[in-house]
Amino acid sequence: MKTLVIGLDGEDNYFWNIGDIGLQLDYYGELETFYSTFPSFLCSLTGKRYAQRMQGDFSSHRVVGHKMLWDYLGDIRQTYINIPATYPAEEVNGSFICGWKAKSLDSNSVRPISLIPKLEKLGYNFGKDLFESPAAEGRWDDFLNEGIKQIHMRTKAIKYLAKKDKPELLFAVYTTTDECLHQRIETRLGKNRIRTMNEILSEDLSSIIDEIQPETTIFFSDHSINDMGYHGPDHEETKWGTWGLITDLEHIPPRDKAHILDIFPTILASLDVNIPAVEGSSLIYSESDKKIFTDRLRRLGYLS
Ligand SMILES: [Zn+2]
């Protein structure tokens, strides 16, 4: 696989600081975002800016006239799992499982539909409601256990589809992180349970990378969450999420701080696909960039 993209809903730079997590990043830093999930994930799929118009404005991703990532990739094998702001499912050369608005495994949320019985066997579900009663009843251990189950279920789906689709690009999002971080205050999930959730997610991510060996892995989040469990334009500090890279491609310096607008061109560069005119810029040089530089240096006599 060329590129694995992992969305970490609601995480910030602290995610990388949890001790021996097995994930060895080549580069990472703070990511400026649009404070909330819908505009940020949509931006990662188009390279454009979006505003969240109202609370709960999580309708279809089909913004008229906006070309989406898969429209740029043609026949490249590609797999999408649980990206918020994608509904209904798209026909791509690979698999597409929606995030948000998807409630059950049906033809609106899964393509191709032949995948549905296989996902049922895996125990795949969309999960959001599963957190509601433990939260309402204050059963925080149950809440955490539900979250961990969701993380493992998503991990299973990633590994299964990586093997089945053999995609060049696999783009998957973990949303349990957001569910848990919203409840981070001590009277609810609290620090220790959040730490456990992050450790388990890190272990799962390491095991995915070990198993599927992508050439480049791009991690990013869509916003962070403050100590009280909130995010959005009313909470300025939550504009900063995180990004990380594991890649042999060269990083374009000096970029510890990046913008969510940079994620889309970075994905295209990692796949060696031409980047259209967008506001953001890639965090890495593509293989063809590298070839152009080397040829130029050779012509100028700096390389033999
Ligand atoms: Zn949230």
Per-residue pLDDT at 254: 66
Task: For residue range 74-125, list pLDDT tens digits in order.
Answer: 999 999 999 998 888 999 999 999 988 888 999 999 999 999 999 999 999 9
The alpha carbon of 177 and the centre of ligand 1 are apart by a number of angstroms equal to 9
**Per-residue b or e along 167-200, where b marks 16 or more CB atoms closer than 10 Å to that residue's CB:** bbbbbbbbbbbbbbbbbbeeebbeeebbebbbeb
**In the numeric block, which tokens belong to residue 203?**
């272990």
Per-residue pLDDT at 242: 96
- Domain with 144 in it: what CATH number? 3.40.720.10
Q: pTM of the predicted model, to two decimals?
A: 0.95
The alpha carbon of 37 and the centre of ligand 1 are apart by a number of angstroms equal to 7
For residue 304, tell me if it sits in a domain. Answer: no
Per-residue pLDDT at 282: 96
**Number of alpha carbons in the 13 Å side-chain half-sphere of residue 221:** 30
Range of the domain at 74: 3-299
Q: How many domains does the chain have?
A: 1
The alpha carbon of 142 and the centre of ligand 1 are apart by a number of angstroms equal to 20
Per-residue pLDDT at 291: 85
Average pLDDT per block of 10 residues along the chain, 304 residues long: 98 82 84 93 93 58 78 96 91 94 93 97 91 95 97 98 98 97 97 95 95 97 97 93 94 85 97 95 91 86 84
For residue 241, tell me if it sits in a domain. Answer: yes
The alpha carbon of 234 and the centre of ligand 1 are apart by a number of angstroms equal to 13
The alpha carbon of 239 and the centre of ligand 1 are apart by a number of angstroms equal to 12
Per-residue pLDDT at 50: 84
Task: For residue range 36-89, list pLDDT tens digits in order.
Answer: 898 999 999 999 998 766 555 555 455 667 899 999 999 999 999 999 988 889
For residue 215, tell me if it sits in a domain. Answer: yes
For residue 278, tell me if it sits in a domain. Answer: yes
The alpha carbon of 12 and the centre of ligand 1 are apart by a number of angstroms equal to 13
For residue 159, tell me if it sits in a domain. Answer: yes
